[in-house]
Amino acid sequence: MRNASVVTKFILLGIPHTEGLENMLFVLFLSFYIFTLMGNLLILLAIISSTRLHTPMYFFLCQLSVCDIFFPSVSSPKMLFYLSGNSRVISYAGCVSQLFFYHFLGCTECFLYTVMAYDRFVAICYPLRYMVIMNHRVCAILAMGTSFFGGIQATFLTTLTFQLPYCGVNDVDYYFCDIPVMLKLACADTSALEMVGFISVGLMPLSCFLLILTSYSCIVCSILQIRSPEGRRRAFSTCSAHLTAILLSFMPVVLIYLQPTPNPWLNATVQVLNNLVTPMLNPLIYSLRNKEVKYSLRKVLQQVAFFPEK
């Protein structure tokens, strides 16, 4: 039997099988985190400073950059803190907050990718009505909707996880508090909750993916009807960045939450890539093949480099 004492704090054991690599991992993850913050801040500055980029597509890209700034910030600061030799202890409330905000931002991004796919669908399939359909009011409603439904999903998953009693063992065999590792520490039968969580975590991304697939099926049909090779190339170029970002975002969810037999080391590796590498790559994905963003970024960097001193 487990000790009946109620757990008030947890100990994060870190990424499995990485003992003795703390210094190397600290430098590596700190570099990823800094580049993620800098890249997404530059995208935000580039879009905000250029009136040419004040369109629905870039409005949603701004929201994605904000999510990509906060998403790695849920787990990275604490991970870097203990990798530098400090305490691995996290309070019960801190653990709840980590799980909630991780799923809130993750679900918000998932809904946001769906909205961005719809935006591309309207832009390519109904170009003459694009600004009428995607007006400021619609964009604001869609943006708020992604956060609202992300909050509902995160609240449900967090409540599901922490309604269980936690007593005795408080060693979290992971680098942050997430559903699979927390359920292992519960002092109750979790089989029914694991099934509900599995369905919930799987159903939401699957629904979003099917909606994205529908949007892009219509987009491909419309692009194939464009007679100009240059027109087809530009349309495909616009969508390729979004599709790349979608694959980088959705694949980790499938590997982590929907595998029949969880592998702690594989889960940690994939989740680190999802938490740090994907948000770092998104600014590159959306800027490298976009002349307008590159031009605006160049102007921002020139202003930063050559800003006259007062």
State both tokens at 264.
């702690």
Residue with tokens 């594989």: 266
Count the helices and strands in the chain (H runs, E runs): 12, 3
Q: Supply φ then ψ for residue 50, to 5 degrees.
A: -110, 115
One digit per residue, the tens of pLDDT, for the chain of length 310 reads 444 567 888 999 888 888 888 899 999 999 999 999 999 998 898 888 888 888 898 899 999 999 999 999 999 999 999 999 888 999 999 999 999 999 999 999 999 999 999 998 998 889 889 999 999 999 999 999 999 999 999 999 899 899 888 887 888 888 889 888 888 888 887 777 777 777 677 788 888 888 998 998 888 888 888 777 776 777 777 677 777 888 777 777 766 666 666 666 777 777 888 888 888 888 888 776 677 777 787 777 777 665 554 4
> What predicted TM-score, i.e. pTM, was given to this entire model?
0.87
The Cα–Cα gap between 122 and 11 comes to: 48
Tell the burial category of 109 from Cβ atoms under 10 Å away from its Cβ (0-12, 13-18, 19+): buried
